[in-house]
Chains A and B, each alone.
Chain A
Amino acid sequence: MSSENTDLHHAEGGHGHEDTMTRGRIWKVFFILLAITCIEFFIALVLVPKGTVPLHVANPIYIILTLLKAFYIVAFFMHLKFERKGLVFSILVPILFIIGLILVLTNESHHWITLRM
C-alpha cells in the first residue's frame, strides 16, 4: 500500500512541465479570491446602497463571481486542473444534475408563488 502511494505520487509529479501548485501560485490564487470577495463587498456596500446598480443586476453578478471563486478553489486549491482528464470529467459531468434541479425548482417556484398570492 505504502509503496504504491509513493509510486503514484512520483508518477503524478513526473509527467509534464510545471503542472502543480508552487508557493507562488498558491498566493496568486489567494489574492485572486480575496480580490473577487472585495469586488462583491464593493457592489454590496457601495454600489447597491447608492443605487448605481439595481439588485436584479447585482444578483447575477454575485453568482458569476461566486462561480469564478468556485473555479479557482476547485481547479487550483483542489488541484483538479492538474489531474487526468478522465477524473476531471468524472467529477464535473455529474454536476449537470445540479443544474437540472435548479431549472426544475426555479420553474416550480414561479408556479408556487401564483398559488400563494
Chain B
Amino acid sequence: MSATVSQIDELKTTPWAGGRSPYNVEYGKMMMWFFLLSDAFTFSSLLIAYGALRFSAPTWPLPSLVFQSVPGTSIEHGAPLVFVGLMTFILIMSSVTMVLAVEAGHRNAKKEVVGWMIGTIIGGLMFLGCQALEWTHLHSEGFWWSAIPNAETLKEFFEGNVPLVQQQMTAHQFANLFFTITGFHGFHVFSGVIINIIITINVLAGTYEKRGSYLMVEKVGLYWHFVDLVWVFVFTFFYLV
C-alpha cells in the first residue's frame, strides 16, 4: 500500500459508501439477527392465527380454569398462574445468566463464562421439565392434538352455560393451538439448550480464548433471549388474556 490515499479510497469513508460495514457488526451476528427476524415472523403467524380463531369463536376455555393446577404437586384447583409464573421466572432468570455470560466474555473471563453458561443450561432444562409436567397434566385431563376431555371434565373449563357443541369446538381449537405453539416454543428451548451445551464445551476447550473473542457466546445469547421473548408473548396470550 502506498502512503498517498487515492481519490477512490477517500470516497469510501461514509458508512454506506462500501468502505466499511455500515452495521459495524460481525457477519455471523448479523445473520443471527436476520434469522431471529424470520423466526419472529413464524411465531407471530402462529400467535396471530390463534388470535383470529379465538376472536371468531363464540366462547373459549378460560385460562384461569384450564391452568389452575400445579403439576407435579397435589394442588389440583384454585392456583392459576402459579406454575406458569414459576416457568416464566425460570426463563427470565436463565436470560439473566446468559447476559452475565456475555458480559464475562467481554472481559475474557473464561471461568465466569463457563459458570453462567452452565446456569443458563440448567435454567433451560428446568423450563423444559416444567413444560413436560404441564403437558402431561393436560394430557391426563384428555387434551392432546385433536383430542379433548369428555363432556364431564370439559364443563369445568367454561363459565356459565355454554352449549356442549361450542365447548367441544373451541376446546379442539384450544388444544391444537396450545400444543402446536408451546411445542414449537419448547422445541426452540430444546435446541437452545443443545447449542448452549456445544458453546460451553467450546469455551471449556479454549476455542474462543484462542480466537481472542467470545462473540459466539453473544450469538447464542441472542437466540436464547429470543426464546425468552417469545415466551413473554405466549405467556400473555395463553395464560393471561
A59: contacting residue among B57, B102, B241, CB under 8 A = B241
Write out, one digit per residue, whether chain B residues 62-106 have a CB within 8 A of any chain A CB (1) or not (0).
Answer: 001000000000000000110001001100110110111011001
Is B233 interfacial (CB 8 A cutoff)?
A: yes
Interface residues in A3-39 by Cβ distance below 8 A to B read: 3-6, 8-9, 11-13, 20-23, 26-27, 30, 33-34, 37
Q: How far is the CA of A41 from the CA of B80 in the complex (A)?
A: 10
Nearest residue, chain A, Cβ from B62: A55
Interface residues in B27-60 by Cβ distance below 8 A to A read: 30, 33-34, 37, 40-41, 44-45, 48-49, 51-53, 55-58
Q: How far is the CA of A15 from the CA of B52 in the complex (A)?
A: 46
Asked if B64 and A44 sit within 8 Å, CB to CB, the answer is yes
Interface residues in B92-127 by Cβ distance below 8 A to A read: 92-93, 95-96, 98-100, 102-103, 106
The total of chain A residues at the interface (CB under 8 A) is 58
B23: contacting residue among A37, A41, A77, A84, CB under 8 A = A84
Q: How far is the CA of A98 from the CA of B48 in the complex (A)?
A: 9
Interface residues in B183-241 by Cβ distance below 8 A to A read: 210-213, 215, 218, 221-222, 225-226, 228-229, 232-233, 235-236, 240-241
Is B6 interfacial (CB 8 A cutoff)?
A: no
B232: contacting residue among A26, A44, A66, CB under 8 A = A66
- The interface residues of chain A lying within 8 Å CB-to-CB of B235 are 66
The total of chain B residues at the interface (CB under 8 A) is 59
Asked if B99 and A2 sit within 8 Å, CB to CB, the answer is no
- The interface residues of chain A lying within 8 Å CB-to-CB of B228 are 73, 77
- The interface residues of chain B lying within 8 Å CB-to-CB of A45 are 80-81
Asked if A101 and B44 sit within 8 Å, CB to CB, the answer is yes
Once A5-B26, A37-B88, A66-B232 are accepted as A-B contacts, the answer to whether A105 and B100 lie under 8 Å apart by CB is no
- 10 A-B pairs within 8 Å (CB atoms) are namely A3-B212, A20-B106, A21-B103, A26-B100, A34-B89, A40-B240, A70-B232, A87-B25, A98-B48, A116-B57
- A residues at B contact (CB < 8 Å): 2-6, 8-9, 11-13, 20-23, 26-27, 30, 33-34, 37, 40-41, 44-45, 59, 62-63, 65-66, 69-70, 73-74, 76-79, 83-84, 86-87, 90-91, 94-95, 97-98, 101-102, 105-106, 108-110, 112-113, 116-117
